[in-house]
Amino acid sequence: MKQKKIIVCDAIHQKGFDILNAEKDIEVIDAVKLPKDELLKIIGDCDVAITRSSTDVDEKFLNAATSMQAIVRAGVGVDNVDQDGCSRRGIIAMNVPTANTIAAVELTMAHLLSTARSFTNANNHLKTERVWNREKWYGVELCEKRLGVIGFGNIGSRVAIRAKSFGMEIIAYDPYISASKVTDLGMNYTENFDDILGCDFITIHTPKNKETINIISHDEIAKMKDGVRLINCARGGLYNEDALYDGLKSGKIAFAGIDVFSKEPATSHKLLELENICVTPHLGANTLESQEKIAIQAAENAICAARGISYPNALNLPIKAEDLPPFVEPYLELVQKMGFLAAQLNKSAIKSIKIEAEGDIGAFAKSLLTFGIVGALNETTEDKVNYVNAGFVATEKGIETKAEALNSNSGYKNKITITLTTEKNVTSISGTVFGEDEQRIVGINGFKFDFKPKGKMIIFKNHDVPGVIANIASILAKESINISDFRLGRGAHQFAMAVILVDTDIDKKIITELTKLEACVWVEYAVL
């Protein structure tokens, strides 16, 4: 049997190399110290690559990797991996999402304590400047203080448990979990983000996406109590860094603990000029234990991928076109987009996901369900959901899933509908494919439409009264927002719904203005 080649592009713990080298059918190429331009010359016949943040899996890399079957990102973040590019080339992109959980939790606790007691400043004052001044370094106690936790997943929940043992009162905000996950731990769950802004300490543990970028900015900081302390060991950009700087400089924010920045390395960042901030250079996963775990999991996953056994934590498992009729593929892609859209319109803990497939596509209802689950859960969980683990993740979260094939009675040759039921609402989206691959959304919550599932869109439900379109257009025009398309659906009971496609991003201010319109029932912003 021909040996499979696994190339290690970036430094990993020796345990990972030991596991790889122990396999007789695996040839290991150590390219850790190789310049990146030289790396591109030798990856052409490699089957699997193990990378970290130092190697960009970009177009140049992928063009050179002509035999590559899989990429294993040894860590959680995959910002440096072109997943779409991997998919187009049939390369499976994987990560190692849980190996550094405890390391990230404990670093957050270190920053939490440092923001309370200014350990880093006191240390530098004594050790570097040789000044003994106890009066300068009065801090605050964690006991009986309120900690706001944004994001209550694997890391956020563990931080909360540890902080609770310090005597802190925990208030958690996470619209994508059941409240009982928090309250069962003797903590407080809130749906009102302002409750978080009223806390003494705030820490964030969310994915980085359009919902969470700049989730804390100038307006939010203005609502906070004077002397608040902020921690971010999750992703750079979740706190607006200009707003953070202004808040620290004014004293509104007493202290901040920051491990991540929007652009790294951040050696010349203006935040480093301030005294009331403790910074670390993205050390969330930097413990000996987590590095060992990451290397072991990355090596084991790479071996499985090289042998074609499985693709653990696959982020983009490609469709095996040879196993499916040609007409099925665009429906799989469409239902994932529909699930993603439904989750953006129905922001709450999901209780059930149902797929209904009419026509010939009904024979593939179970496959549609898998892709629908991936789309629905993709932005609502801390870890990535993929085609391999979708069913397991849904079961683990207590989400009921169902796929049903129906007779075609809607006038469409094939039609698919995904229905998301959450603790708050039910959202149903229908779609079809015209021709070979022309995807269309044809219904939302009973309102008929016909638009491509692509772009930036405002979904606006309103009482069906005169003047609504003009009022919406006026608000968008005032903010110089160009409307590229406007689709209107009218329903029973004197309601209407509009899908407004726009050319630029929509911020919270505009959504708030639209919500204030008298005819508005609800409004959401979504991106596909």
CA atoms of 337 and 332, how far apart (whole Å): 9
Please count the CA atoms within 13 angstroms of the CA of 94 that sit on its side-chain side: 31
CA atoms of 28 and 17, how far apart (whole Å): 8
Residue 447 phi, psi (nearest 5): -90, 130
- Please report which residue ranges of 263-387 form alpha helices under DSSP H: 288-307, 328-345, 365-377
Instruction: Return the number of other C-beta atoms located less than 10 Å from residue 325's C-beta.
Output: 11
Residue 349 DSSP class? -
CA atoms of 192 and 177, how far apart (whole Å): 14
What separation in angstroms does the CA of 323 have from each of 326, 364, 512? 9, 12, 47
What separation in angstroms does the CA of 339 have from each of 209, 376, 387, 418, 488? 16, 4, 14, 7, 21
Instruction: Return the number of other C-beta atoms located less than 10 Å from residue 126's C-beta.
Output: 14
What is the three-class DSSP state of 519? coil
Joined tokens for residue 166:
């310090």
Report, as residue numbers or ranges, the catalytic residues: 235, 264, 282
| Helix (H) / strand (E) containing 185 | none
